[in-house]
Amino acid sequence: MKLKGWKEVNPGAVITEAGSALKFKTGSWRAFRPKWIEENCIQCLFCWIYCPDMAIKVKDGKRAEFDYDYCKGCGICALECPGKKGNKAIVMEEEGK
Ligand code: SF4
Ligand code: SF4
């Protein structure tokens, strides 16, 4: 059988709905979850800047709770958090603890 040249092939396309990260709740497969210790928080917002999933909310210019639907438990926020006087304001805990 002779294959068609590219000029003879009928043009076609597959159109599907555009993807949205909103639909993928990365928090559903988390093994560790960050815990916020508010009394050690100096409101530097490093955690908000570094979080790759925008899973740290800011309200009225201040850090608010985690959005656990989208937090995948990577631990970057806990690593970057300076905390107060060396006491971390974010610690990682095993999920379901
Ligand atoms: S653990 Fe990772 S995904 Fe979850 S809030 Fe911290 S930086 Fe964001
Ligand atoms: S990085 Fe730590 S100290 Fe800074 S806002 Fe986030 S929780 Fe608070």
pTM of the model: 0.81
CA dihedral 29, 32, 34, 35 (to 10 degrees): 120
- Which CATH number is 59's domain given? 3.30.70.20
Q: What is the pLDDT of residues 9-37, one digit of tens each?
A: 888 887 777 777 788 888 888 999 999 99
CA–centroid distance, 32 to ligand 2, in Å, is 18
For the Cβ of 91 lying below 6 angstroms from any atom of ligand 2, the answer is: no
Whether residue 9 contacts residue 65, with contact meaning beta carbons closer than 8 Å, is answered with: no
**Domain-located, residue 51:** yes
Domain hosting 81: range is 30-94
**Domain-located, residue 2:** no
Q: How many domains does the chain have?
A: 1
**Domain-located, residue 17:** no
| Residue with CA at minimum distance from ligand 1 atom 8 | 51
Structure tokens at 50: 């570094």
Per-residue pLDDT tens listing for the chain (97 residues):
888 898 998 888 877 777 777 888 888 889 999 999 999 999 999 999 999 999 999 999 999 999 999 999 999 999 999 999 989 999 999 998 7
| Exposure string for 7-16, b = 16+ CB within 10 A, e = fewer | eeeeeeeeee
